[in-house]
Amino acid sequence: MSIGLFSSHQGGKGMRWLTKGFLLGVIALLLLSLTACNKAELEKVKVGEVTRSIFYAPQYVALEKGFFEDEGLSVELQTIAGGDKTMTALLSDGIDIALVGSETSIYVTLQGANDPIQNFAQLTQTDGTFLVAREKMDNFSWDQLKGSTFLGQRKGGMPQMAGEFVLKKHGIDPVHDLTLIQNIDFANIATAFASGTGDYVQLFEPTASVFEKEGKGYIVASFGTESGNLPYTSYMAKSSYLKDDEKTVQAFTNALQRAQNFVQNESAAEVAKIIQPYFENVDVAVIETVIERYKAQGSYASDPILDEGEWDNLQTIMEEAGELPQRVEYEKLVNTTFAKKAAE
């Protein structure tokens, strides 16, 4: 009898433990499924950037601070070297959104795309290159370039077009007034200058600041300041994507605006710390210097709206360089619906 009672007592206790264990298991499964559901609810967006650059700081802020997730998006970022390859990926649906120079949308349109590409959000609004001299100059003037050897950027690209536009603006004929070298690959321009080629070079950051730090060259002027505001780097997508996935595009643009506000309002040091994971081989102090320089000259757009004046300036620069067969209407290639709503 006592054995029976003992067994019954133990059995009841065992049942209670089983019940508790079962409930805990159910709760754990519910939590896991809720987490999975939340992850599943995030809309996937494939973004291709034309290069990895501190110039694109707001984009990395949006990724690191979780602004895209807050808008219900899971953004997959890939770096696709070169504008041509980036646009090919966009046209072939390898990516949903491209971050590239706005001039590429003009080239594609003039070639006759079935599903037109439209710029819907602007990230940077000036050229991002600097004029670097071999010697330190206290009183630089553009006339000093006359008779020099100038190591420029690849012909047909926006940096080269902006560079030549600025030279002409200061009365310098790129063909007759200096020796212009443009046959060196983008990746090798800085190395060529460091090895002794040229008196001046047109460089992106962070290379320009690193050269200053190492005494290899000295920033004497900004092509961004000199060439004025233009849609230097913008987010673009196929017209069909903007129409069929408008909620996704709006969410993306909202997150971007939030990141743009953050970069405008926070210190360069704070922004540098946040985006450093994207630039592991660059000292955080250099990243800070670069961000400060870009902020000072207004390179980071304060909102995603690409306005008509900037579009006209872009096409003027392209015309001056002989790279624009015909002008393309602002309304045809720019869609400000999402940017204006995000900026409200």
25-75 per-position pLDDT tens digit: 556 565 554 444 445 589 999 999 999 999 999 999 999 999 999 999 999
What amino acid is encoded at 284 in this protein? V
- Written as one string, the DSSP assignment of 76-105 is EEEE-SSHHHHHHHHHTTS-SEEEE-THHH
- Specify the number of domains making up the chain: 2
State how far Cα 260 lies from the chain centre. 12
Residue 9 included in any domain: no
Boundary of a domain, candidates 165, 196, 227 = 227
Per-residue burial over 8-28, b if 16 or more Cβ lie within 10 Å, else e, is eeeeeeeeeeeeeeeeeeeee
Residues contacting 17, CB < 8 A, separation 6+: none
Examine residue 93 and state whether it is found in any structural domain, yes or no.
yes
Supply the pLDDT for residue 32.
56
Peptide bond into 304 cis (omega under 30): no
Question: Comparing 14-18, 71-75, 82-86, which segment has the lowest mean pLDDT?
Answer: 14-18
pLDDT tens digits along 172-181: 999 999 999 9
Same domain, 111 and 57: yes
Tell me, yes or no, whether 253 and 329 share the same domain. yes
Whether 15 maps to a domain, the answer reads no
- Model confidence at 4, pLDDT cuts 50, 70, 90, reads very low
Q: Are residues 182 and 243 in the same domain?
A: no
CA dist., res. 54 & res. 130, Å (int): 14
Looking at the fold, whether 186 and 312 belong to one and the same domain comes out as no
**Is residue 13 one of the residues assigned to a domain?**
no
**Whether the model pTM is above 0.95:** no
- Are 293 and 190 found together in one domain? no
Which of 227, 255, 288 corresponds to the end of one domain?
A: 227
* Amino acid 315: pLDDT: 95
Instruction: Look at residues 170, 193, 227 and tell me which one is the last residue of a structural domain.
Output: 227
pLDDT at site 37: 44
Check residue 21 and give its pLDDT: 56
Which domain covers residue 205, as residue numbers?
A: 129-227
Closest C-alpha among 319, 330, 298 to residue 226: 298
CATH number of residue 241's parent domain: 3.40.190.10
Q: What gap in Å lies between CA 331 and CA 121, rounded to an integer? A: 14
Q: What is the pLDDT of residue 36?
A: 45
